[in-house]
Structure 1
Amino acid sequence: MRLTFATRPSKLARWQTQWVINALQTVHPNLECEEKIITTQGDKILDKPLPEIGGKGLFTQELESELLNGDVHCAVHSLKDLPVENPAGLTVGCIPARAEVRDALISRASLRLALLPPNASVGTSSLRRAAQILSLRPDLRIQSLRGNVDTRLRKALNGQYDAIILAGAGLTRLGLDSHVTEWLSLDVMLPAPGQGALAIQCRADDEVTLTLLSKLEDQATRKAVTAERAFLQGLGGGCAVPVAAFAELNSHQPAVISLTGLVISEDGKKVVKVTDEGTEALELGMKLSQQAIAQGADEILATCNV
């Protein structure tokens, strides 16, 4: 049996795909796997901030086309980049155990967020990160930061920015977490829905592939990210809007999911933060999104430039 994986060309995307292949071959020793490298719009357009490029599926659409054409069996995505609605005929066949969910600050001068001087430049490609930074430190300057993890890190270390914010999972996966100045707590920086989790997408009718992938499924992660993404979906948002969410299973009552959701204006001045618990992930996420809307989240999102 041979599986072909679609993957983006970045070092992180290749690492993530290879991790999935290695994990699958551990549980299916006779499985052969190969990669097909696909360049997406998000990989090609590097001279504009992500919110300006806009659109759903910026890093996923071309991979999904390969799946629908039958040219590949699977595509490995960072779940936070995957639109909440699968194209007809595709499904998320597997979500493995989640990695680091926090964002990380990297500063060449080793300055934590609270110690950055007024007017210091902070690089990020994410409206969600930018807004939460400005909520805490309105005196900082947010500047667009594009490129793969290595490129972004290099820009921080050579002084193009006073600090940058990156997803911690990518840094730990590439062995670059020694550069982290500060791990931002979830009280300071709530992550994107699905952050830190991988999604392995395949055709919904490909029973053989679905059976193979099922060995890597982590139910706790699936429940948590389903709640987070339901919150995003209930707000009508895509991957680029300033919406954050984090869910986890209660350690004492594993059937209970705790979910916190955040909607924040781009300048960080208007914040709606909601928290609730439930046993059904989809229902919990949708319920919390309605609570956020009742508190003005839809008005905040209507002002976003995405």
Structure 2
Amino acid sequence: MRKFTVGSRRSDLAMTQSKQFISSLKAQFPDVEIDIKEIVTKGDRIVDVQLSKVGGKGLFVKEIEQALANKEIDMAIHSLKDVPSALDPEFTIACVPEREDKRDAFLSNGNVAFKDLPAGSVIGTSSLRRSAQLLAMRDDVEVKWVRGNIDTRIKKMESGEYDAIVLAAAGLKRMGWSDDIVAEYFDPESFIPAIAQGALGIECRSDDKELIDMLKTVHSDDDATCTTAERTFLRRMDGSCQVPIGGYATYEDGELYLTGLIMPEDGSEQYIVKKSHQDPKALGNLVADEMERIGAKDIIDRINETL
């Protein structure tokens, strides 16, 4: 049995979710040996600047893919939302394990619901998508960017620097936080999550058939289908962390649906399109076609021109 090396970001969350995935793989292959190589990415090194202002896609991926190309590692465990929607042909996302909660979690001092926050409250987030949706729901709050791991962000809130923060529910759950710390979970139908939020993507070299076959045993077809629809929409819209864009695919009564979101940063407009199609790539393109038809793509083009 081959010995495998996994590449992971060094953050607590990345290491935790990598170890959780390795445990699920070892449950299928008890004799396999798997090591973790910690890799520091550009996104990890830049901690004092809002990610949307750093520029470029793949801030948390490029260095890990380089290690994959150099055969220093055999597979990479990514948060799929960090992976650019267009991959180099030498790599493949061979496995999307069962997805964690895709919703956004709202945390606040005193566990106050978002609608009950006093006017002028300061909410922390590092996401333009979250910021735009918050401002669209309430134009009397202030949104400020915040970086750092989950613990750091929660401490900044508890110290009074922020009245509330918004985090991915998946990260909180993977790190073992109790639901008690969350004031509310936003409904993904009305507060659209990031593309592939809550999903992992296991990337390996396209020619590594042995590993690809192993990864199939912990692959979720439904979650892969949903994230394919979301990522197809993202690719067509030329979206990135510099653009307020979201997408949420799900099965309703056996039918695959995708809800896409595009907004300007100030939350002044909101374009939401929901479509159904049995083929995930066709579905992502359907939603993108409609976004182009109604003029939402112009928002992205304007933002991309200024970058």
Match of 1:267 in 2: 266
Output the CA distance in 2 between the equivalents of 1:240 and 1:64. Answer: 22
Match of 1:96 in 2: 97
Output the CA distance in 2 between the equivalents of 1:150 and 1:33. Answer: 28
What SS class does the counterpart of residue 265 from structure 1 fall into?
coil
Match of 1:290 in 2: 289
Identity of aligned residues (%): 38
What is the CA distance between 1:109 and its match in structure 2? 2.4
Match of 1:141 in 2: 142
* Residue type of the alignment partner of 2:273: V
Change (3 A) 1:61 1:103: same
Output the CA distance in 2 between the equivalents of 1:175 and 1:67. Answer: 30
1:82, 1:239 within 8 Å by CA — same for their partners in 2?
Answer: no
What is the CA distance between 1:188 and its match in structure 2? 3.5
Output the CA distance in 1 between the equivalents of 2:204 and 2:157. Answer: 36
What is the CA distance between 1:275 and its match in structure 2? 0.6
Output the CA distance in 1 between the equivalents of 2:225 and 2:174. Answer: 23
* Counterpart among 198, 214, 217 of residue 215 in structure 1: 217
RMSD: 1.2
What is the CA distance between 1:25 and its match in structure 2? 0.4
Match of 2:49 in 1: 48
What SS class does the counterpart of residue 303 from structure 1 fall into?
helix
Change (3 A) 1:281 1:96: same
Output the CA distance in 1 between the equivalents of 2:64 and 2:166. Answer: 27
Unaligned runs of 5+ in 1: none
Mapping of 1:81-120 within 5 angstroms?
81-120=82-121
TM-score, normalised relative to structure 1: 0.96
Output the CA distance in 1 between the equivalents of 2:49 and 2:159. Answer: 21
Output the CA distance in 2 between the equivalents of 1:220 and 1:240. Answer: 28
* Counterpart among 188, 200, 203 of residue 202 in structure 2: 200
Output the CA distance in 2 between the equivalents of 1:240 and 1:211. Answer: 36
* Residue type of the alignment partner of 2:229: A
Q: How many residues align?
A: 303
Unaligned runs of 5+ in 2: none
Match of 1:76 in 2: 77
4+ aligned runs moved over 4 Å, structure 1: none
1:270, 1:300 within 8 Å by CA — same for their partners in 2?
Answer: no
1:80, 1:239 within 8 Å by CA — same for their partners in 2?
Answer: no
